[in-house]
Amino acid sequence: MAKRTMGRKTAEKRTLKRWKFLCWEMLSKWKRKGGVCFICGKTVGSKKLNAHHLVHKAQGNYAKFEPDNIVPMCGYYCHTMLWHGKMPWDKQRDYIDKWIGLERYWEIRRESHKSHQYKAEDYEKMLKYFTEQYEQEEEEI
């Protein structure tokens, strides 16, 4: 039986998927580091927090990897029940204003609608930056 080889494009897609995964993993780790929920303010530890996107990540790559767009929320109640459930927009808006300001929020929304096609080099730069930020905060503690 002939050995099947991967096409160049397939290999590139797998490489990009890996870079995306590594970038998200480090960004999420960095943003959950303090262990404090964005909504209720409880200190629950970073492993019990979710890294939540204020502008939904489906809006585009920019929204997914923009550090200002990521907030830590404690698991089920604040993240699922409040933010994705019962919390009205005016209350969400108040939290967003407190976190990054409404102007920055709308800027992220506008940017996320533009097409952002990242290459492996872009992800590599992002990963380096996220890692540096994570380690820098660790030194400050």
Q: d(Cα 124, Cα 110) in Å, to the nearest integer?
A: 24
Q: Which domain holds residue 88?
A: 31-116
Percent of the chain with pLDDT over 90: 53
| Residue 59 within any structural domain of the chain | yes
DSSP one-letter string for 8-69: HHHHHHHHHHHHHHHHHHHHHHHHTTT-B-TTT--B--GGGEEEEESS-GGG-HHHHH-GGG
Residue 48 pLDDT grade (very low, low, confident, very high; cuts 50, 70, 90)? confident
pLDDT for the residue numbered 1 = 46
Tens digit of each residue's pLDDT (9 = 90 or more) over 112-125: 988 888 899 999 99
| Residue 124 within any structural domain of the chain | no
Tokens of 18: 């890996």
| Residue 35 within any structural domain of the chain | yes
| Residue 96 within any structural domain of the chain | yes
3-state secondary structure of 115: coil
Q: How many domains does the chain have?
A: 1
| Residue 11 within any structural domain of the chain | no
pLDDT above 90 (res 138) = no
| Residue 138 within any structural domain of the chain | no
Residue 71 pLDDT grade (very low, low, confident, very high; cuts 50, 70, 90)? very high
Residue 133 pLDDT grade (very low, low, confident, very high; cuts 50, 70, 90)? very high
CATH code of residue 50: 1.10.30
